Amino acid sequence: MNILILSAGRRVSLVRDFQRDARQLLPNTHVFAADLKPHLSAACQVADRHFVLPSVRSAEYPQALLALCLAENISLVVPTIDTELLVLANHKAEFLQQGIHLVISDEALVKRCRDKRLTIDLFNEIGIDSPQMYQANALSFPCFAKPIDGSCSQNIHTFYQAEQISASVLEDPKMLFMELIPKEDYQEYTVDLYYDRQHQLKCVVPRRRIEIRGGEVSKGVTVKGAVYQYLTQRLATWQGAVGCITLQLFKKNDESRFLGIEVNPRFGGGYPLSYLAGATFPKWLIQEYLLGQELTYCQDWEDRLLMLRYDDEVLVHGFNH
């Protein structure tokens, strides 16, 4: 029974987390990684083995992934990027028939997470407030705009007056407009949630985003405070949710308002902080899906643990691509 991390890219910490827990629980299990160009992926280089897969947008992708899993005795597949999610959700049952667990939430939930217009409705249903939305022909300033299916903070805009908005942005049917959240009045959080196979919440780790680089947290701190209490009261059960769910929200400084921004049903780039704090999601996935064990609720992770990220190197000798 082996494990595969998809689109591994730069996620060295995530691969090593899975390796560490797999060796503790199942010493003969290997942690593999796949990427479009694994020879240029740091995470693929530290994995036990790495493989090439076609683009997730390719029609050949699902069958190529299935063939790889069958050939390499892979029983657990972990996605890491947004564009994989719907494809995997669509093929979840097919893979399960072959004894392969795709760690992905149900298709209906994934669709609502990938379309940020539907995400707002999702927040409303579970009792989480969200920023006020604007129609393109009835904007209020300042406002914020982002694509309904965007990720990694790409193609986002802040506008303080109408003259700043280009016609292409205003007429883009995929652009979502909302109130601008003033950073001086709010703190931004990413929250790592773990849901078991029965969609029951097993862990909540809020991470305050202190500094962001390229859409990913570079400085952050775990906080067991108002955000923790706010979410645990509302998210004890989440229909269709399994594994790691990453939720982003803003907390007003006086704690009078909490605003949900988006939900990503996958490991986020800043998850290593939660792991090092004691929220060992890779271990729990192995226990649940490969060992058939039930999990208990975990709340004894380390509060106020600060993460300061820096660049590091993975060297490949004899490179000849």
Residue 321 domain-assigned (yes or no): no
Q: Are 39 and 321 in contact (CB under 8 A)?
A: yes
Question: CA–CA separation, 20 vs 252, rounded Å?
Answer: 38
Residues 266 and 284 grouped into a single domain: yes
Residues 174 and 219 grouped into a single domain: no
> What is the residue range of 47's domain?
2-103
Q: Number of C-alpha atoms within 13 angstroms, CB side, residue 196?
A: 16
Q: Which residues partner with 205 through β-bridges?
A: 192
Question: CA–CA separation, 197 vs 209, rounded Å?
Answer: 29
pLDDT class of 215 with cuts at 50, 70, 90: confident
Within its chain, how far is the Cα of 235 from the centroid? Answer: 17
- What is the edge-to-edge ordering of all strands in the sheet holding 201-213? 258-264, 243-252, 186-195, 201-213, 216-222, 306-308
Residues 234 and 118 grouped into a single domain: yes
Question: CA–CA separation, 2 vs 31, rounded Å?
Answer: 6
Q: Are 80 and 14 in contact (CB under 8 A)?
A: yes
Residues 115 and 260 grouped into a single domain: yes
Residues 225 and 114 grouped into a single domain: yes
Q: For the chain, what is the radius of gyration of the CA atoms?
A: 20
Residue 313 domain-assigned (yes or no): no
Residues 139 and 206 grouped into a single domain: no
Question: CA–CA separation, 122 vs 124, rounded Å?
Answer: 5
Residues 170 and 191 grouped into a single domain: no
* Mean pLDDT calculated for residue range 209-223: 92
For residue 86, give every residue at least 6 positions away whose Cβ sits within 8 Å of its Cβ, in sequence order, or none.
Answer: 107, 110, 111, 114
- What CATH number did the domain enclosing 34 receive? 3.40.50.20
Residues 216 and 230 grouped into a single domain: yes
What pLDDT is recorded for position 155? Answer: 78
Three-state secondary structure call for residue 261: strand
Residues 84 and 140 grouped into a single domain: no
Residues 8 and 74 grouped into a single domain: yes
Q: Are 274 and 301 in contact (CB under 8 A)?
A: yes
Residue 45 domain-assigned (yes or no): yes
What pLDDT is recorded for position 89? Answer: 97
pLDDT tens per residue, range 265-283: 999 999 999 999 999 999 9
pLDDT at residue 116 is higher than 90: no
- What CATH number did the domain enclosing 289 receive? 3.30.470.20
* Mean pLDDT calculated for residue range 126-143: 91
Residue 320 domain-assigned (yes or no): no
pLDDT class of 151 with cuts at 50, 70, 90: low
- Final residue of a structural domain among 53, 87, 103: 103
Residue 246 domain-assigned (yes or no): yes
What pLDDT is recorded for position 109? Answer: 97
pTM of the model: 0.93
Residue 316 domain-assigned (yes or no): no
